[in-house]
Amino acid sequence: MTTLATPDGWRRPGPTAEQRRADLFIGLAVTALALFNLTLTTSAGVFQLGPPPSVPEQVFWAVAVTLPLAVRRRMPIIVTAVVSAAFIVAQVRAAPEMQLATAALFCSLYTAGAWAADHRRSRQVRAAIIAAMLGWLVVSIWLSVDSVPADAFEDAAGPVPPLLATIVNALLVNVLMFGFAFFAGETAWVAARRQHQLEEQAEELRRARDEAGERAVMVERLRIARELHDVVAHHVSVMGVQAAASRRVMDKDPARARTALAAIEQSARTAVDELRRMLSLLRQGTGTEEGPATVGVERAESLLDGARDAGLTARFGVFGTPVPLPDSLSQAAYRIVQESVTNTLKHAGASTIDVRIRYLAQELEVESTDDGRGGRMAAGGLGLIGMRERVAAHDGTLEVGPRPKGGFRVRARFPLAAQPACPVEVTEAAV
């Protein structure tokens, strides 16, 4: 399908194959009707423009004015120029068929306005044709004034002189008809351009929707990866440490080895339960960032059991008065502790770990420290990235790095709504 250009860069789609076929049928039908009307006109002897030319010439002018409509949308300006020229010459030659010829003229003017490639040129051509038509009308009236019979207006009774009324009526009707054809073409062209703009906007919205969908899928994949890391890495790390301890004491201290194996079994069950919970949430298609929280900061102390089973000295303390937390924030704090304990077990070579939860006036602070090697995080791992994402999602701050006196610290602060002042409560557990 071809396209038609406009001076401002817009290209209107040209006529489709179906539209071209419709133009062909319309052109042939109008031509046939014009020939039929010519037969009726000559049979009735209605020759308003004077003695008609020969029959072949009458047929020629009827066809010349109407048949170009068969390609009106393919070559709108050329068709308009041909139809207009044939129309004027046909009138000069006193061709009797004018009804269908007039309709063809107005149709061609409309088509030039609605479908011309160069819209500015189309306006100029149409304005020139209309001016020529009105000029020809004035000339025709001027030439025919002297030939008006004296008794042509015997029944006239209005306040306006009959000849003047006839002239004004002819001019007014033609101006209205030509104006209608001109502005109807303009309206059709503007409507087509607006439709094109709407289609472009719809396409942009579709692309934006697709991009948003792709981003949502990516975010969901990152969330799943983060959840898998948090759930699996902690328990697998604990299981690895305990398995190593069990292997070392298997022969020397079977009781301790059995204890380590039992801890491994419990860690495996816990990991499976959490994986089953997470997969269940994914199957349900939850649209929340974290999903309904089944773990929270109140369960953070249980994360140290694996560290204790692995032989570390683990301390846990809650400072301040616990306040109700949003599920997502509580789970984020839990995951921060989980990732910190996992990194201590996997990378630190530490002997102690200290986890503290502080409920401050306007913040929740989660801090994990150990006495292991400073400056270690798994290369390419998701742990630190996951912690930063969780903290950022709640407009908090995260500090991760070695301590000046040795060891490693993870400290996350989450802003809270202001809480009423109340006595400070401190609970602490240590092994």
Higher-pLDDT residue of 383 and 264 is: 264
Confidence class for position 348, pLDDT limits 50, 70, 90: low
CB 305 within 8 A of CB 356: no
Tell me the average pLDDT across 111-122: 87
Tell me the average pLDDT across 415-429: 54
Is the pLDDT reported for residue 8 higher than 60?
no
CB 100 within 8 A of CB 66: yes
| pLDDT given for residue 56 in this prediction | 93
| pLDDT given for residue 374 in this prediction | 56
Instruction: Name, of 219-223, 226-230, 309-313, the range with top average pLDDT.
Output: 309-313
Q: Which residues contact 161 (CB under 8 A, 6 or more apart)?
A: none
Higher-pLDDT residue of 69 and 222 is: 69
Is the pLDDT reported for residue 290 higher than 50?
no
3-state secondary structure of 193: helix
| pLDDT given for residue 117 in this prediction | 79
Confidence class for position 302, pLDDT limits 50, 70, 90: confident
| pLDDT given for residue 64 in this prediction | 95
| pLDDT given for residue 140 in this prediction | 78
Query: Hey, what amino acid is at 28?
Result: L
Query: Hey, what amino acid is at 367?
Result: E
Is the pLDDT reported for residue 12 higher than 90?
no
Is the pLDDT reported for residue 91 higher than 80?
yes
Instruction: Name, of 18-32, 348-362, 366-380, 405-419, the range with top average pLDDT.
Output: 18-32
Tokens of 354: 């200290």
Confidence class for position 385, pLDDT limits 50, 70, 90: confident
Tell me the average pLDDT across 18-47: 92
Tell me the average pLDDT across 105-123: 89
How do 3-5 and 426-430 pair as beta strands?
unpaired
Instruction: Name, of 28-37, 117-126, 209-218, 380-389, the range with top average pLDDT.
Output: 28-37
CA distance 298 to 313: 20
Radius of gyration of the chain (CA): 45
Is the pLDDT reported for residue 423 higher than 70?
no
Tell me the average pLDDT across 11-17: 79
Give this prediction's pTM: 0.53
Tell me the average pLDDT across 311-321: 89
Is the pLDDT reported for residue 2 higher than 60?
no
Tokens of 38: 């010519």
CB 270 within 8 A of CB 232: no
Q: How close are the terminal C-alpha atoms of the chain, in Å?
A: 81
Is the pLDDT reported for residue 286 higher than 80?
no
Tell me the average pLDDT across 190-202: 87
- Cα 31 from chain centre: 48
Q: What is the mean pLDDT of the chain?
A: 80
44-69: b or e for each residue (b if 16 or more CB lie within 10 Å)? Answer: eeeeeeeebeeeeebbbbbbbbbbbb
Q: Dmax of the chain from CA atoms?
A: 142
Long-range contacts for 379-386 (Cβ within 8 Å, ≥24 apart)?
381/229, 382/225, 382/226, 382/229, 383/229, 383/233, 383/339, 383/342, 383/343, 385/226, 386/226, 386/229, 386/230, 386/335, 386/339
The residue with tokens 């939850």 is 286
Instruction: Name, of 101-110, 242-251, 272-281, the range with top average pLDDT.
Output: 101-110
Q: Where are the alpha helices (DSSP H) in 250-382?
A: 254-284, 304-309, 327-343
Least confident segment among 270-284, 301-315, 328-342 = 270-284
The residue with tokens 């042509």 is 152
Confidence class for position 7, pLDDT limits 50, 70, 90: very low
Least confident segment among 62-76, 169-183, 247-261 = 247-261
